[in-house]
Amino acid sequence: MLQDGRVPHALMFTGPEGSGNLPAAFAFVQYLFCQNKQAHDSCGICSSCLKVSKLIHPDLHLVFPIPVSKSVRTSNDLLPEFREVFLETPYTTVHDWFNSLDAENKQPIIPTDEANDILKKLSYTSYEGGYKIMIIWQPEKMNASSANKLLKILEEPPEQT
Ligand SMILES: [Zn+2]
């Protein structure tokens, strides 16, 4: 897809939980952003590759299920925690993610506030002048009102999004 310049605006990586779909999605993003693309993979050493591999690339946005509370309203509120867990265990599951937060008893959800935040983030121009990427881990954890808010942008996202 990348070599033919035909990257669709939405891709779904599916499979059993913990089977590597999330690391595969990040590897795809790293290849997309790489400044020195190799024949079949990213170079792994350019500044874009390094930023993606640490999950700190400014044009790579992340959404994941959260235990909603007064202090946790969107994924942004737990981004440092998520980075730590993912970088240590790329094949992590929602169960492990919630255990690491001591939130085993809470419901993992992607709430409506998050959907509003996704729309806002994707309306900005990209920081580095290329693609803007939104990775939504476990989109099935969205409630109906979040999912409905995202229909339009899924079908007709802005350029290079
Ligand atoms: Zn690179």
Give yes or no for residue 3 having a pLDDT over 90: no
The residue count for the chain: 161
Quick one: pLDDT at residue 54?
97
Quick one: pLDDT at residue 18?
82
**pLDDT tens by residue, 67-93:** 999 999 999 999 999 999 999 999 999
- pTM for this predicted structure: 0.94
**pLDDT tens by residue, 26-75:** 999 999 999 999 999 999 999 999 999 999 999 999 999 999 999 999 99
Strands 60-63 and 133-136: what pairing?
parallel
**pLDDT tens by residue, 89-124:** 999 999 999 999 999 999 999 999 999 999 999 998
CA distance 21 to 14: 6
User: At a CB cut-off of 8 Å and minimum separation 6, what does 11 contact?
Assistant: 25, 28
CA distance 99 to 81: 12
Closest CA to 117 of 101, 138, 134, 139: 134
Which residue do the tokens 């020195």 mark?
A: 36
CA of 51 to the centre of ligand 1 (A): 10
Question: Which residues are found with C-beta within 5 Å of the ion, ligand 1?
Answer: 34, 36, 42-43, 46, 49
CA distance 11 to 27: 13
CA of 50 to the centre of ligand 1 (A): 7
Closest CA to 154 of 7, 9, 6: 9
Helix boundaries (H) for 9-142: 21-33, 47-53, 79-88, 94-100, 112-123
CA of 80 to the centre of ligand 1 (A): 23
